[in-house]
Amino acid sequence: MNAPDTDLRLNELLAAHLDTLIRGDRLAARPLAASAPAELRDLMNLAARLDETFAPVLPSAAFMTRLRAEFVQDQTSGAFMLRWRKLPPRYQAVAKFGGATLTVGLMLLAARRALGLASNTRARQQPVSDPVLSG
Amino acid sequence: MTGNNAHDYARFDDSELVLQARTDSGAFGELYERYVKKIYSYIYYRTGNSHDAEDLTARVFHRALVHIETYVERGIPFSAWLYRIAHNLVANWHRDRTRRKVIPLDEFVAAGLRSEAPESMAESEEEREQLLAAIRRLPEERQQLLVLKFVDKLSNAEVGAIMDRSEGAIKSLYHRTLIALRDDLTALDAESDAPRPSHNLAHTR
């Protein structure tokens, strides 16, 4: 067997050993390692150590529920958020600017109205001079 | 395809759900359920902490949602597409940081440790940390391969679709990765075994 063939064979043996490990079948993986060519044995043992090292991790249930809710739970707001996220960034910026302008405009109108009411009230509270008496 | 209840969605394969998800958020929810844990695990082991893993996982799914209308399955399954998004985000995350964080032993990882005698636990814990540190010194694509195989337990065909390589190339990369890792650990052992001039022999292993 020439070198590339040997490499291919070793690749296949290591891949088969790894598949056995990730299926969770450690008992079946051991004899594979024991009967493997010497140059592979320590690599297979290293693979077994890797399998033990990479312990399974899970996201927290709270995180998963919160994130899922952003996509599906509230269909109305979900649909709005979906449409919003699909808008190109330029459109989103314009929409934000428009929203901000409208808000400021409404606030100015409200302030002007409030100021107008206050000045009217003040004017009404001013003592009105009687032209007869003052004349 | 009709119906919005979860029982219906489970019957469909990914391709059908992708089409449906363009107009129906429930279908996207089913895709999310199918892959959120795997994507999270992948990102967790690539970033080393749960806070960034949660943040990047959320971004993967938001990005997928935004681009799902333009996604076309041309030999790349939906799951591989998700992993590619995750890979790009993790790569950006690493670029944004000058230092790499140490993978913390949070409760999930600790729960994964095999039950052992207390005296051997400290030793195996040290070995485990050494191995994780050696993994973090590997080039990015090799780290990616190890996480996809050992954490997400994907087939070589699936890993090949994500990394844009043939199955044969994945097997070969795995072989070379193990050799590199073994050599790194051997060098580290030799380094720690070598007597240091400033220490007496009692302090060497």
Give the span between the Cα atoms of A83 and A94, in whole angstroms. Answer: 15
Buried b or exposed e, range B145-182, using 16+ CB within 10 angstroms: bbbbbbbbbbebebbbbbbebeeeebbbbbbebbeebe
- Enumerate the residues of chain A whose CB falls inside 8 A of the CB of residue B149: 18, 22
Band the pLDDT of B205: cuts 50, 70, 90.
very low
Give the span between the Cα atoms of A75 and B127, in whole angstroms. Answer: 49
Give the span between the Cα atoms of B114 and B76, in whole angstroms. Answer: 37
In the predicted model, what is the mean pLDDT of chain B?
A: 82
CB-CB contact of A22 with A51 (8 Å): yes
Angle at A53 between CA A48 and CA A57, to 5 degrees: 125
Cα of B200 to nearest chain A Cα, Å = 32
Residues of chain A below pLDDT 70: 1-3, 73-87, 125-135
Residue-wise pLDDT for B76-125, tens only, equals 899 999 999 999 999 999 988 855 444 444 444 544 444 444 455 566 78
- The reply to whether A71 touches chain B by the CB within 8 Å rule is yes
**What's the whole-number mean pLDDT along residues B51-72?**
93
- The reply to whether A132 touches chain B by the CB within 8 Å rule is no
Per-residue model confidence (pLDDT) at position A79: 56
Q: Tell which phi-psi region holds residue B153, choosing left (phi > 0), alpha (psi between -120 and 50) or beta.
A: left
Give the span between the Cα atoms of A108 and A12, in whole angstroms. Answer: 74
Buried b or exposed e, range A12-21, using 16+ CB within 10 angstroms: ebbbebbebb
CA proximity to B108, closest of A60, A62, A21? A60
> Greater confidence, B192 or B197?
B192
Give the span between the Cα atoms of B203 and B205, in whole angstroms. Answer: 7
Cα of B116 to nearest chain A Cα, Å = 13
